[in-house]
Each structure stands twice: as C-alpha cells, then as structure tokens.
Chains A and B, each alone.
Chain A
C-alpha cells in the first residue's frame, strides 16, 4: 500500500515535467514524396474557408500545385508550429507570428531566408517587413500578409439619436464622453479583464501624446526611456478614461464587452481592425463608424495617429523538400492580386499598396492609417525578450484601474521590465 501510494504520487507529479518535455524536438529533414501539394499552416482557423478560396485562385493559375490549408486555434498555434517545424510532418509554408514572435523559429534556423528568392519585398513598409525579419541578422524570412490598425469604433445609431458627432479636438472628445454619460449611456466598452487589450487602448489614446514612432526611435537610441514625462502623461490619459467605462470594467471579458457594444449598451469601442468583422456579423443592421482619438493637450505629435502593426507573415519551412513551389507561392503573395484577395475574402488589410476595399468603412480605416500611421510600439519593438512590453503594461494598467498603481509606477515598471533584456542601440 505504501509503495503503491508512493508510485501514484510519483506518477501524477510527473505530468508537469511530461508537459514540458513534449515541447521541443530534434530537427529533422523530411524528404517527402513527389507530390506538389503544399501544406500551409495558419492560426486563423475561423477563416479557413476564406483562405481556401484565396488559394483556389492560385491553384487555378498554377495547374499541378495543390495548396492544402490547415487552420489551427490561435492559442495552440505557437506550440503546434514549433513542434511542426522541428519534426517530420510540419508545413511547407507557415504563418509566422510577427516581430518578437518570429524570432524563435528564425534563430532555430527553421525558416528559409527569402531576400534573394522572393521579388517585391521592397513594396512593403519597413515597419511591416520588420515583422518578418530576424532581429539579429536583419534577414527577411516571410512575406507579411496583413496588418491591423487601431481605431475608436462607434455606434452611428447612438450618435445620431443623441446628436453627437465625431470629435476633432481633445476637448470635443472629452465633451462627447461626458454627453454620453449624461445621456446615461456607457461611453466605451472595454474587456479590461483580459490584459492584452489594455496596451492597445493605451496606444490608441496616448500614441500622439508620447510621440509615436519618434519616441520609439529615441528609446532605441537610448536618448530617452519609458519614464519620460510624455510617456507617463500618456499613461495618465488611460487613467483619465476609466470614468467612461462600466464601473466594473476590470471584471469584464472581451466577449462580454463585445456584446455590450454590439447590443447598443455602449456607444464606442476602442479596438482594432480585426474587430470589424465581428461587429458586422453580430449586428448586421447597426451602422458603425470610426475615428482616431484627437491628440491630448501637450501632445508631442500635432495630429491624430493610427497605431498599427503587421499581423504576421508567410514563411518557408527550411526543412521542406518543396522549396521551389513554396518560393513561387510566396512570390505570388507579394502581388496586388493576393493583397486584393486578402482584402475581399478575409476583410483584413493587405500591406500591399494599390488594394481597394469594397467596404467603405474599411476603406476609411485604411485611409486613416495611410494618412498618419504610427507603430503599436510595445508590440513592434519590445517583444524581443522576456518580459515583453505588453506583458508588463497590460497587468499594470489593470492594477492602475484597481487603484493599486500610478502612471509613474507603470512607466517605472515598464522600463525595469524591458531593461532586463533590452539595451539601447542594440
């Protein structure tokens, strides 16, 4: 009995280690058959049908090539991809996470460099292409397929019913929120229980205040850091906005907040372009609008900016024995034809110039971005180590909403967290 209990204890305890041991594997080369079937992996399982329609166009133009698209759950994808790229049954072409998320497979040598074999990489904005480049070597390993932009969405029906308009100045912006409160309407819906939305909200409200890409460049050069008063002031704007959310905002999940917005219980939604399809599908009869938050007093940048980031890219598995057809597919991904399909089928923004959007709201969002883009700083530049910038700021903004921390403490925490792995000028 004693031995049996001890064995039981040992066996059950082992599961934590077993879980860890399942993660990586030894690299192996898979010499598959003669088939020209290209296996493409993605984290966009919900859009699998849309992606298949896009690849149908490629298959029709390239007889003999079959694209086998496999969509996985976004939350499981990193794990699956690291196993797939290291093992035998991995993809030939895979969606690669952007910026810091791409560095794992790049440093492991699991992705093929494409600078010399894929044409048209110069068509991409440098901050977009950076998403698919090695931080250490500067080599490109993927073709970016989409980018996301951040906007303040609003319910036009609520605005019309209350004679409200898109604000052009910060004062008008604050007045708008106060008017909504006075009309007993929750001004903004936010799922603050999920910390990942909070650094995005901060950039949407405060990017112009701290200086957007200019500030980013100064941090990179080491001439300033996150404790800069302008950055602290941008965090104070987030604190100022708390009064315009539901009083229990810290307990509200993103799904609940989405329902709050689409059901007309809140007038505005500070979010990303990825939210649009959800709103249109959930409340097809509601008319939606977007605007950029005007710069707050004392802002470093004079005009409203649109924070954005590349969503991901398609890279080639270095171990795939179908390098040539995979390279051909990536070459096609730099064409406007592919970009237009991404816009039409997926309702996502293609980073390729010349793509037109049939949805007028998408066109407006894209025009806002093109007029005054700004990088989503913590994602674009500060996800290359542990802790990532968003991993520090997200929970810290929750703490600020709960009254546990001040904007100054948030800035100090962020600087301290980033400093454990980031050296200016590196």
Chain B
C-alpha cells in the first residue's frame, strides 16, 4: 500500500511515525514548535507531542546540536533541525569535533544517535546563505554519515533509517524538492537502508552517478540520449557517506563510462572522491575519463540569471554525456 505525498510531507510523516514509535525520539530547532518550522516540516508535531518533545530553541545552532549530543548520550534519539543547511556552519564544531569523534575517543563504548536535518540546495532564489550544499564538509569527516534523498519515498524511508541509526547522520533534504517532488510513499513502517543506491534508469552505454535535486535533470538528459540510441544508467546514490561502491562498480562493469552530476561545487566535491576511487580500483574497466557536471567553484548568487548560469541542468548534463560516450 502506498499513497501520494510531497517530499516535505514524507519527512513530516517519518518524524511523526518515529516519535509515536519511540518515546526517545524528539525534535528541536528554531521555530519548529507551534509555528511548524520555516518550511512547515514540523507542522502538527507540537500539538501531538507537546513542548518537551518539539522544542523551540533560541538561535543557537551550536547549542541545538550540543543538546542533541548530550541527550543522545543518555539514550535519546534527537532530530535537530537546521533552519537552512547554510546555518550548519554555526554548529560545525559540535558535529565534527564532538559527535563525529565521540565513539572513537570513548574506545567504542558510546555512540551518538543524532540526526541533523538540513534543508540544502538552490534554484529557489535563496542567495548566498539559503542555497548551500555542504555535504562535502561532512563526507570528509570520519564518524559521520550523510544522506540526501531525491524522492518522497526515500525521504521518508531514509529519515526513519537515520533516526534508528546509532551514528550521527547529516540528513540533507533539498528545499527545491520540498513541494515539487511528489510521489508514492509507503504506508507504515518501511525503511530505506543507509548505504544503498537506487538505479533510476537502466542502460548499458554510460553510468550517471547523482543525487538530490540533480536526479530529475539527469533522467531528462538520459531520455534525450536514448533518442540518439545511447542508453544511460542513472544511479541515485541516496547515501553519500558511506556511498554504495558495489552498485557503482557493478554499473561501471557494464558501461565502462561514468559521469558524476552534483549541485555542490566542483573542487573536492563528492565527484572528486568518486572519480578517484574509480580510478584507483577500477582503472581497467574505464573506456573514458570520469567526467563531472557540477556547480562551478563559486557562491550561490541571488539573481536568477546568475544562479541559472551556475546550476547544472538538463542541457549541461546532455552535453557531458555526449562527450563521455564519444570519447
């Protein structure tokens, strides 16, 4: 059984179901209480669960995450909301130095089951501080997991998995998808496991690795290539750390060509790591260099004209795929 929900509603449903299932789950953040969150994700939770489990906080990202870590040490499973992923830098130390290292420095005798939800990404005219894609900062820090769903189904299932995971998880929900991505969502308790990619389209001529809001333009580009007789396999990574190496390599063995598409900037983005891993471990399987379509190494501008110049889109991805298969 499934029903149609928006990506945003799917996240809210995951939160509500997990809070009903486990009294140790609670949410905290700025405006998450009666107001229901800047984007409305937590609407209704305050009425159902009360102020102790739906905690309106001061503008204190470091405290929001630090309080979550403290509660996690006592067996709770807090879900911290960053109002925008851009603001996560204000709580950076608590994530990378406290949460990420705690198990290691405790000799394996403790864990930090927190989720930090962060609305990421651009294409909404948000400008420099409401559009960022900070995944690489956290992928780079051992001890953290990073997920980035692209569909309503995955948003619900991956958030449930993140809440039940015993490690700190940075949950990047793309704000462009909040109300635009609608689709079937399972009724009831279905988990999308962390660390498992989804093949969105099969093909034998090239592999396209992507995630988040880049999945849709990637599929559109693959459809264009199909009209030219080229079948592109589109893999939605879903989990960025740990990424699904087995799925990537299996596809590569079939296609021998890889394009990585992400909205994050190019230098030391996830594409750089994927390219390096493929080169190190699957060099013989490659018929072409691994190519990337990414945001250029710049900031997210406010003007539509400027932002459109930066964002990867169907045309840019199509062009890169043509280059890749012609190599």
Do A and B share a complex? no
Which residues of B pack against A, CB within 8 Å? Answer: none
Which residues of A pack against B, CB within 8 Å? Answer: none
